[in-house]
Structure 1
């Protein structure tokens, strides 16, 4: 005879004993782990906590692996994949995104971002901000941010004819305290010296038999025009702009990149009034350029 100690019962055959184990509420078997739990709740808790089981408690379903279980969560449940938490509905999930410091969440757009700076850039975009920064060049253009305005000027898109070289010239002339520039990298930055930009120009001599090769970085272009466009870009310009944040010091080749960095609030430098006043002063000078 076979005895079930838990139920204090005896069985004449092994088959009868195993039939009892399979049907009794006192026995809840995990076949994969060969464990017997006294309650159904205990068995479910084991499936939930064990790394061996890919188990959805809400659906009482097992899955073949973590990726398969995650796909099920994505389709069937309101869950946060980063925190691995399932919520009753989407309202609870969105509230979790809104309150959690681990998530960078735009509530009006119901959209998550990978970093605080990316969220700030989104909130500063035309999606959430009006185009109320007027171009000082007189072209009538309006922009959502000062960085967008500076990029407009640097790209030569303004009808006034202002371009990147002119923007840099204004910065050299008026940023005498080097709030946003590195004097060691400025060409002609001292008083009374020429205010010049280095201009690289390629000729047909840059043909290497396969394409037109940049003599600074060795990148090959299919046309001479393409190579000269590459040389005219900020790619090989000095990083004359610098963030003066105490824990930053990041450098940039163009003013628009520095302004975008400041606007992102990534390093907190935007909180300092002297930085904002410097930027306002420089942008005010752009409209005074004469050609």
Structure 2
């Protein structure tokens, strides 16, 4: 049961309802609250001990049930254990493969800064993932729908965004329960992919994988559809269809988030 740290009001529906209440009233969460459950404590030391014992840190791996106290530790774990580059949303078949990738020009470009918290990312995909997943500490309530509305305002000709008649927002949130356990893993109802933890399954359900496609590749001979902005940006950065150069994508994202231009990729 999540509760407001100022007035003590309880929210059995979950932390989203509690955080909405806090935004509307100016109230705050309990000062020493667990990153993943509704437990709260009277000291930071007690909170930390709980999260260590329960594996309840905020930064969770999408491939296993491990959680980490910092984003850097989570990313290092994903590189070392899963050969996964989070900034590019790409898996590699071997440790040598991902190390070569991390040393490539993709990770030597000038950084792309988050307009809210100034976190630095080496690719446009990394920045967009940061925002679409609600990972920005200064803009945690921005989601896929907010990003789509912003892109549409910068893309009146529909170069990469679809003109969806009657679309307002796709705000439905999926939340799996313990009933998703099939005896061996937590299974996705839609695609039957298996996950080691309920947290990982819910992260998958709300990642955009099973939602309406909002974007398409601008190249006429490709026109591949994508459900998230991060996915289409990753597609363009890969230069797999030759729609645009990698460096052009980076510069366009910098210009767009600074409010200097519309989407053009020229």
Whose relative contact order is higher, 1 or 2, with alpha carbons under 8 Å and at least 6 apart?
Answer: 2
**TM-score, normalization: structure 2?**
0.47
Higher Cα Rg, which structure:
1
